[in-house]
Structure formats: structure tokens, C-alpha cells
Chain A
């Protein structure tokens, strides 16, 4: 037992190093003065000049703003649709078409992005021909595409949360005369809020990060941030991308810390409520 433990522990550490070294190297070199990115110019570094260059880069700022808008709308839409699908799958037993819905919600999770992108684009083109909407590609088509693939992730998150909790609460509310809508909004929804929050964050990140699907469905003129980065990076490493990456890593890391603290707080509060309820039952 000892030897396997040591072996897998070493690999765990190695794996974590493997995961973090690239990110750290990116952060370090974002403060490098040299244009040659990976050659450390010790005379003039560290410097913030690439951050300065970034702030004055209209193209990157515009793309980032577009990406944020798309990600917010797409994540919200995905949470609404994904929750409904998740609840339907878990609570409605074997309804007609259940297998179909289940299959459709998990398929985008594993589908190669090029296929999803291509098929969505062909759908949009066909729609444009038949009903004249949406006109060309752009923010609208990107958002619709993002909702479609993010929804699958939200459904899975909501589903696993719903499977975990006690159905008797809903039944009790029904017995007390609550209508299904009331039950959903007063009981089910508050109970799955943590899942909704993490689903929203997940969807936001996926949408913010997506390159391939956006590239397919975007028309000329609307480029999201990953599309701009990709076209820059294809030509080789560039130091301001390092600076951009550093900022994004910082935002994500602090976002995760804040959300995990919030989750912990929520859990504590729920435990306290439970205990209070038990005490008052006595």
C-alpha cells in the first residue's frame, strides 16, 4: 500500500506542476520587456508596457466587450433552458420523448466542436433563406449557438443536483395545497440555486472561451475575443497576449475564490436552518 501511495502521490504532484507551469510561465513573461517573449531581458524587466499596449488596443477591447455581452446573454439563456430540461428529465418520469430529450442534451457535451459549428451555421443559413432571419452572421447567431451548446452543460449540472435532493419536500408542498407553479418557484428553484449559479458560471466561461463554434457562425465584422487572439497567436507568440492572459487568469482565479466562499456561506446557512427546523419540531 505504501509504495502505490508514494508512486501516485509523486505523479499527482508532477501532474499539478504540468498543469500550472505553462500558466505561470505566461504570467512571468508578460512582465518581460523583450519583444522576443521567451528571452528574458533582465536589464529592463519587469515592465508593465504590454499592459499599457493592451489598454490602448481598440481591436482587443472591442472584441472583449462583444465577448462579455454574448457570454452574459448566452449563459442566462442556457440556464433558463437547461434548468427546464433538467427538471423535466428528473421529475417527469418516463414521458413521451424522454429518451430523445436526454440524448439531445448530452450529445453536445461530447460532440466535436467543428461538427456543432458546421451544423449550426447550416441551420442559420437555411433559416435566412426561408424566413429571412437572422440576416448574415453576427452577435445574434453566435449567441444562439452558444446557448445551444452551453445548455447541455447546465442541464447536466441541474440534473445531478435534482437527483441528490429530497422529493418529499415538493410532495409536502403539494399536499398542503400549493399549485405546481408555486411548488416550482418556492421549493424547487431555491433548492437548486447553487446548481444554477455554478451552471451560469460554467456557461459563461464556455461561451467566453469558445473559438471554433463562433468562428463558424460569425459573419464578417463580428469577432469575439478568442477569434482575435487566435488570429494573433497563429502568427506566433506576442507579448501583449501574455498580458491579456495574465489579466484573465487573475479574474478567473478571484471569481472562483469568491464563488466558493459564497457557496460555503450558503451551505452553512442551510445547515443552520435545518438545525433550527429540527429544534422547533421537538
Chain B
């Protein structure tokens, strides 16, 4: 037993060290640009000025708000598409179910970057969608779809759809169908039965799925860089520009910390749900 504890304690300490370092180092007090010469006091002072800068510069404020908006809209669209998909998978026969789940997960295993790239070919002005629509005579001018909010929504929904469907599916699959039958026997119409019984029961799935989409979408970097607008950046892009192009590590770090602060509540919510489902499985 002692042997086991030692065996598990060591990686635990490694994990602890790594994660601890992450938190510690992401903080502005560890600004390497200044830390070489001075102690922490100087850095702390700098740290506040970074945050001040963050709040007064319109660029940062607007990209935070824009990121939140994009993430919220995409999460909603994901839910709108993902819920019916998860629902009909959960209601199909076990054999079909496995095939369908496989089909949902399969794109997830192929390169994320390449899947986003595929949308450039579809959306650009001489791309596939425009060619098809013009060939059919539905439109005469190519639509501008690339480098718009629309393209970013498509990209995020496309990339994160499995993350929405899987938690929803595992929730919907467990529902007791006799409840619906009972409601129908009592005269409820299908929609009423769905709204009063299925929807409330699937709330944990909805919340877990939405958080799994929303949280990474806020910090998304690749999708907006490839598909998005060039005049309005998302915060992930701001962070990496700040870091790679301006070489301003302290500001980049404070952008990260502020982003984290925004996401702490959703992340903690997610962990609570995760824990509850694990315990329910026991």
C-alpha cells in the first residue's frame, strides 16, 4: 500500500508542480522582461499599469466583448443543431446508434486545422458554394462569406459540434421514455410533453455541452484567423499578436489573466457538473 501511495504521489507532485507553475507563471508578477534585473516589487507595479492599459484601450475592451458575443452566438447555434441530432441518435436502435456516434466523432479525429481550412475553399468568393449557387442561377453576384462573422460562426459550430452532441446524447439516452408515454396518455401533445418533461431532464446535458463549446470558443485563435474579419480581432488573436508581434509579454499575460478571470465561473460550473455526473455513474 505504501508502495502504491508513493507511486501515485510522485506523478501527483509532478502534476501539482506543472499546474501550480502554470498559474503562478501566467501571472504578471513573473514578467521575464523585467524580472532579470529587479525583484518582484517593480513587476507588481508594472502589473497594475498593464491592467490599466487593458481597460482604457478600446482595442482590448472591444475584442473581449466581441469574443464573448461570437462564443455566445456560436454556442447557441451549436445547441440548436446539436440538440435535435443528439435526440434522434438517442432514440434510434442500438446498432444505428453506434454507427451514428461513430460518424459524429470521426471528423473530430481528423485534423482540426485542415477542417477549418476546408471551409475557406467552400466559402471564398470563387469557392464551391458560390460556384454552385451561381451555376443554379440562384445568385448572380458571388456572396462575400469569408472574413465575416458568419464564417466564424460556421467554423466554430463545425469544429465544436461533437462536444455539444456527446454530452447531450449521454444525457438523453438515459431518459425514461415511459414518462413521455404517461404524459401522452394524460392528453399532452408531443410538443408539450417535450417541453415539460424531456427538456427539463436534459438540462445537465445542455449546460455541459454549452460550456464545452463556449469556454474554448472565447479563446479561439485558429478559426477567426483563417475565416474571420480582419478589422475586429478576437481576444485569442490579440493575445498572440501582443506576444509574438509586439513582444510585450507582460501585457499578453495580463490579457490571459483577464480572460481567465472571465472564464473562471464557467470553468468551475463545468467541473461541478463533471463531478456530479461521475458520482451519478458510481
Contact = CB atoms under 8 A, between A and B. Distances in A.
A269 B274 CA distance: 32
Nearest to B80: A11
A103 B119 CA distance: 35
B191 A112 contact: no
Given A113-B219, A229-B113, A25 B100 contact: no
Given A23-B118, A106-B271, A112 B218 contact: yes
Contact of B117 (A7, A125, A180, A241): A241
Contacts of B122: 21-22, 25
B127 A38 contact: yes
B190 A3 contact: yes
Contact of A101 (B16, B110, B180, B225): B16
A192 interface: no
Interface residues of B, number: 91
Given A5-B88, A205-B109, A110 B267 contact: yes
B148 interface: no
B8 A87 contact: yes
A279 interface: no
B11 A85 contact: yes
Contacts of A115: 26, 219, 239, 256, 259-260
A226 B111 contact: yes
Contacts of B249: 122
Contacts of A5: 88, 91
A217 B114 CA distance: 21
Interface stretch (A48-56, A131-139, A252-260): A252-260
B19 interface: yes
Q: Which one of B84, B124, B249, B266 has the greatest number of beta carbons of chain A within 10 Å?
A: B84
Given A15-B161, A85-B11, A112 B215 contact: yes
B54 interface: no
B219 A122 contact: no
A20 B212 CA distance: 22
A4 B194 contact: yes
A44 B216 CA distance: 43
Given A1-B184, A106-B271, A114 B236 contact: yes
B206 to A, nearest CB: 15
A181 B85 contact: no
Contacts of A249: 110
A119 to B, nearest CB: 4
Residues of A contacting B: mostly: helix
Contacts of B91: 5, 8
Nearest to B105: A256
A103 to B, nearest CB: 6
A164 interface: yes
Range, interface on chain A: 35 or more
Given A29-B121, A110-B270, A180 B4 contact: yes
Contacts of B263: 110, 112
A60 to B, nearest CB: 13
Interface string B86-118: 011101000000001011101101111111011
A209 interface: yes
B81 A39 contact: no
B74 interface: no
Contacts of A84: 7-8, 11-12
A12 B221 contact: no
A4 B191 contact: yes
A139 B18 CA distance: 18
Nearest to B100: A12
Given A37-B121, A245-B118, A163 B1 contact: no
B43 interface: no
A26 B118 contact: yes
A127 B21 CA distance: 10
Contacts of B76: none
Contacts of B226: 233-234
B8 A92 contact: yes
B26 A118 contact: yes
Nearest to B162: A19
13 contacts: A4-B87, A8-B88, A81-B15, A101-B15, A102-B271, A106-B271, A110-B267, A113-B221, A119-B23, A122-B26, A123-B21, A125-B32, A248-B110
Given A115-B260, A230-B222, A241-B114, 8 more contacts: A104-B15, A107-B267, A112-B220, A112-B263, A114-B219, A126-B32, A180-B1, A234-B225
